[in-house]
Structure 1
Amino acid sequence: MTRSSWSDARRIAHAAGVEQRSQVVDSVELATALGHVLAAPLVSPIAIPHYASSAMDGWAVAGAGPWELVRGAAADRARSVGLEVGTAVEVLTGGLIPTGAVAVLQREHGIVEETADALRLGLSPQAPREEPVAGRHIRDAGTESPAGTILLDQGTRLGPVHLAVAAGGGFDRVPVVPRPKVRLVLTGDEVVTSGVPGAGFVRDSFGPSLPGVIASLGGVVTSSVRVRDDASATAEALGTTTLGTTALTEPPARRAGEVIVTTGGTGGSRADHVRALLRDAGAEFLVDGVEVRPGGPALLARLPDGRLVVGLPGNPLAALLSVLTLVQPLLAGQQGLGLPPLRPVVLASPVDPTRSETVLRPYRAVLDAETAAVTAEPSPWHGAAMLRGLADADGVLVHSGTGAAAGTVVPSLDLPW
């Protein structure tokens, strides 16, 4: 087995995803679009805002004051036809500004007096002398963007505020890339799914966490199966009929573009069957181990029918960091997104050398109250089976196995969840 460098493994996984990118475009309702990736730019059919509106509660005024305040049917007519010079109409924040209005006099700066034949609006004693200022408190149509503006770029992963922008542009549905479909195969005789585990057993941490992790990457888990450390059971879960054959049990329509993610079974013990099963099924190993700690046994393989298999290690931290190494780039490629970038951070404390080429280690961002400098504090919980460090992390350091001193600038990965 020749292991890939960490950087090469990410690039290979991303390229494999790009090869499987779907050309299909789905149209989904805004209510279900959260987390999807836009398949095309979202071009606004309207100006935003699409009408001149008031930024304050008060009165829209035409000309210099004092003004005759119009109400009732006359106010409705003024809003639809326009204000005459010397008149005013009450407006609320967000309300339509009638044509002819030059400004909005905010409520605190106006006073209404009743005369024998009309209501008169004038300036209150606390109003600034220059009131009303032309254009003040009026949001003109198109202030944020004119019609034809690209509101959201192709490739945007839609968050809650993106959905609000789309709704503001008048969209009920948006064009999106289909979510990558992921099947989970969770292995291990020693894994229990409830209660406090006894000696020699461990709680399942993947079943509760991986669907959410996959969702944060834009994918969707279509099924999740648990299997014993048994070759036949694992072969069936992977979709190979028996050892030593290349026949596949899943129909081609279901297999198209599918990713299988396994946990455990990638090591070299007699209980680890994933590598041998993939080899016997005629799989092409794109990544056969990674020069990284933790997560060295991780793999990426392509089955003869085109399905991609990502084998994650059985230790929890090693597995979740291997998701960042292989699954995140793979699903990004399938969705037409670029390779997730690295970001430089400054080490708050030194990191020790290891025997691996690359080390992944969770870190917390630390703010220096005196200098306002933000540095990265490596987590003390970075063993392959430890999850506390990742649970509290602001990101993941990607540093050389030769170690690094405090103050060194090293690459890091942002967490997608």
Structure 2
Amino acid sequence: MRRVPPADPVTSVAVLADDLTSAGDGAAPFRGTGHRAQVLLPGLGAHVAARDGVVAVDLGSRLLDEPTAVALTWRAAGAFAGADLLIKTVDSTLRGHVAAEIRAAHSGSGRQAVVVAPAFPAEGRTTVHGIQHVQGVPVHETAFAHDPAHPVRTSDLARLLPEAELLEPERFGKLPELIEAGGVFVCSAATDADLGLLVSSVPRPDDVLWVGSPGLAAALAAHHSRDPAVPAVELPASHRPLVVVGSAHPATRRQLDRLRRRGDVGTADAGDDPAAAAEVLRRSTAPVLAVHTPDARRTASDALTGDVATVVRALTEDGLVDGLVLTGGETAVAALEALGVAGVDLVDEPEPGVARGVLLGRPRIPVLIKAGGFGDDGTLERLCRLLTEGGPVS
């Protein structure tokens, strides 16, 4: 095999995501290994290009029709083609226009090869012989099969990407010569060690379009740590956080139920009357507030997320809350757009799949963003504590 010289140190990283939580998940691990990182809201990616640090762009493509998503992804991949690392995130449960966006990003980027590894072992999402699993169950047999916007119909990556070659971990050592020849490679991974082996097997990461979820992002960040690192950030403590729940996923609803059982949390259902919900929370004396979409209407709805965002804006502008926990990608985007901010200046990843930072704009308050399907029943409680603790974060 021809010896390939090592790549130069990675200083610029671009993350192309189909929703806001994926953008945060893809960028946050790099902040923990010394890179500066920002997440930008939909539409802003057209105004920036590859640069020092990590730029994660939420393309907002998961909720678009496939032709529009493809065109948007192709343009973004071309704009960021010069990044040392170019990452196209995909949902670890294979929701969204997965295959179409991978092909568009490959074409737009002009990269020699595509390495696809959607496993996220820390959250029980594994790829075994090309089949995507959640807690050992093929993903199309889980609750993600009933996702209101993008129900998962297959767990088989070979069906999604028939042009790809499937690689098990014992064949990762062949990647240098395979990448040199070009192609698409779906890589199985059941552990973080598998993902680490995958990343370390590629000597020139700028030859590759990397496709994966937070597991792959963490492996890439660990392998390409930056020295000297970006200095620690003093994160302001929140005196009164607001938890915002728009996700319909059962995991988040269990987290919300546990939060509502506490005596020190004031909650309101945004329902069809956000003004009334905001007034309920204004009158609350609880140290933690929470607003959520209705329990009985767990389907995707722009109107529902808009109602929740209206409450977020009202309470923030009134100065009644000074920290946010945002759950669900569409809900997070709606809330941040309602506040008129450009995105999030990332600080770290306190838990797998959770991004922590401060708003890019005013008010410059701390924020935590979590995907709907992530975490155990106590996750929202822990995230509230993280907001109220504040302090230095490396």
Which bin holds the TM-score, normalised by the shorter protein? under 0.3
When the two structures are superposed, what TM-score results if normalisation uses the length of structure 1? Answer: 0.26
- Considering only CA atoms, is the larger Rg found in Structure 1 or Structure 2? 1
Between Structure 1 and Structure 2, the one with more helix by share is 2
When the two structures are superposed, what TM-score results if normalisation uses the length of structure 2? Answer: 0.27
Structure number with higher relative contact order (C-alpha < 8 Å, ≥ 6 residues apart): 2
Between Structure 1 and Structure 2, the one with more strand by share is 1
